[in-house]
Amino acid sequence: MAEKPDFDFLALYNETQFAGYMAVRRYKNMTYLFFLAIDSECRSCGCRSRTIETLKALYPDTQQVVDMEMLDDSADNNKQ
């Protein structure tokens, strides 16, 4: 999937510090935020908000779709 031309991987930086990445799928007039990972040290400093703003700026003429997963304290991978 990642090798397709309609799939983008984007590195996220907080100034010069690597803050995470996002994977974006483009389809017709839609942009789907497939995956978003933010370093725990960069949370609560506006990185998520800036990421959404970046998504809007990079794909201005598309409908952006973001699917949020609820946190589950009992999940095996909760620490991730």
Q: Is residue 41 part of a domain?
A: yes
pLDDT tens for the chain, 80 residues: list them.
667 788 999 999 888 889 899 999 999 999 999 888 888 887 777 777 888 898 999 999 999 998 877 777 787 776 66
Q: Is residue 26 part of a domain?
A: yes
- The per-residue pLDDT for 80 is 62
Please answer whether residues 51 and 12 qualify as being in contact, where contact means their C-beta atoms are separated by less than 8 angstroms: yes
Q: Is residue 73 part of a domain?
A: no
- The per-residue pLDDT for 60 is 94
Range(s) of the domain holding residue 20: 7-66
> Tokens for 79?
């620490």
Q: How many structural domains does the chain have?
A: 1
Residue 42, domain CATH: 3.40.630.30
Q: Is residue 16 part of a domain?
A: yes
What's at 23, amino acid-wise?
A
15: left (phi over 0), alpha (psi -120 to 50) or beta: left
